[in-house]
Amino acid sequence: MKDDAPSATANIVAQNIILISNTPALSHLVAPEGARLSSCFVQAFSDNGDKFIRLSEIFSQYFIPGVQIIEKVIPVPVGLNLTLVAEKRGIP
């Protein structure tokens, strides 16, 4: 931790608050003021703060709904479970 800059942990927490606030199913957990202040923090203290905020909006608008559609079509949830099923079937 540096005296002249916020900690890396504070930056990660602020970024996760932004991601949660942009996720439709979870956005109710973050107060609008908290999301706004986290965005200001990330923009001010992250090297790529503006890019992160834009990417988090794109992620929540397109990637999450895409995964939800895939999870409805594929009986196994995407992610770790899919990896385990592939390993059991001998798919590298």
pLDDT tens per residue across all 92 residues of the chain: 567 778 888 888 998 899 888 888 888 999 999 999 999 999 888 878 888 888 888 887 777 777 777 777 776 655 666 666 667 666 66
Range of the domain at 81: 8-88
Place of tokens 């706004």: 36
Residue 3 lies in a domain: no
Question: What is the structure's pLDDT at 38?
Answer: 92
What's the pTM?
0.62
Which of helix, strand or coil describes residue 63?
helix
Residue 2 lies in a domain: no
Residue 1 lies in a domain: no
CA distances in angstroms from 37 to 13, 46, 64, listed in the order given: 12, 14, 24
Residue 44 lies in a domain: yes
Question: What is the structure's pLDDT at 31?
Answer: 92
Question: What is the structure's pLDDT at 36?
Answer: 93
Tally of structural domains, the chain: 1
Which of helix, strand or coil describes residue 46?
coil
